A and B are shown apart, each in its own frame.
Chain A
Amino acid sequence: MGRITLDQVTKSFGEVNVIPPLDLTIEDGEFVVFVGPSGCGKSTLLRLIAGLEDVSSGQIRIDGEDATDKRPADRGLAMVFQSYALYPHMSVRKNIAFPMKMAGVPEDEQKRRIDGAAAALNLTDYLDRRPGQLSGGQRQRVAIGRAIVREPQAFLFDEPLSNLDAALRVGMRLEISELHKRLATTMIYVTHDQVEAMTMADKIVVLRAGYIEQVGTPLELYRTPRNRFVAGFIGSPRMNFIEGETAAAKGAFAVGVRPEHIAASTESGTWQGKVGVAEHLGSDTFLHVHDTGLADVLTVRVDGELPVRHGDRIFLTPEEDKIHRFDAEGHRL
């Protein structure tokens, strides 16, 4: 069981208040992603749960038990770090065995679990190598293996994929998701990459300056963002925001339309503008449209076959039922 509850948790570094009073419940077996721009407190929050930082006030409960003052080792959590944090002087086998050695697991049981983890993570041929002899992806798998063998109540991941190249990142993302399906253990995953958040999470926690802006499933956040920050942060490319008359006509201070909810045509439409940069991805094309009189630039996602080039005149039509309305404070109307 790995139900984690944060109750009015705060954290200050000297005068600087990084986490204001915060409440959050993570259910057993959930894959929760903390996402937000850098400096939003997401890593600090994870380290508070891990016990690597002490909370300034409030309580952290793991499975209903107060863990606020417990040492990291006694919380039954395993962590995977961004830098992998493998022990460079130990072989892969010893790295994976280390937490079990500390816990006094019998040798034959250690061996059984190491073999199991190595088979699951494709590390069997590398068990006698040192971390320095492995590639980035392999190192990250060793770090995950070291976490698995502890059979923890929850896994904590601190931006585990940001040191990997793009192709490897997609592969590892899938592996971690599969691992979650197989183990059904609580996982808390920190990232600044909203694509990782959307693709992996059962539940996303969007943070800004230590405050929780919104908690919900990926699609809830995508469909009904609670404010302009969440609306702008979730979804790629970013949502377009339009202020002024167009928004006022809809009874709002600002309206937001996602690039994929705007239809483009070379003949007719509600708005018109000039194509700036056209990013051709093959399946889709992202058009950056200028001179619309609505905003500096509008991003539009169109079919990859639409024949448009830099400087072309283009007509845009938003899908009326997918327009988000916000007040002057940025709250959803």
Chain B
Amino acid sequence: MEETIRFSLNGKKTEIKIDPTQTLLWVLRNQLELTGTKYGCGMGFCGACTVLINKEPVRSCMLPIGDIAGKKVVTIEGLEKKGRLHPLQKAFIEHDALQCGYCTPGMIMTATAMLMKNPSPTRQEIVDGLEDNLCRCGTHVRIIEAVQTAAKEMKGGK
């Protein structure tokens, strides 16, 4: 049953011997000890488990690990580069765009994918892009502002 799955995880070559039907979320959390990716609903409705797979935002709670063979996976832990936070991480801090923080990794990963595709999103595009990520604390207004700030910074950096 077990197979060896090879993929890139946060820029590092990774190899794991595992039942390929196991779900990426729990493999990340339990085997690979990356707990920044959260369990929220297990059904793809809340977005707390969002990771990037080949730059696309994906709900890791719905994805068998077998599907990521040969692909590039980025989790919230992979955004910081050499001690430098990703502009979105910085902007979330700057805008206090979080309360309990549980949805935050999924929000940031979804926004990261959005800005890779569309570096200058309008407010409406940000709203549309984050629509299926749930936040119960009601931090939405600040999250939008943080994404706008990050977008500005990222363009300036190019």
User: Do A and B associate with each other?
Assistant: no
User: Could you list which residues of chain B lie within 8 angstroms of chain A, going by C-beta atoms?
Assistant: none
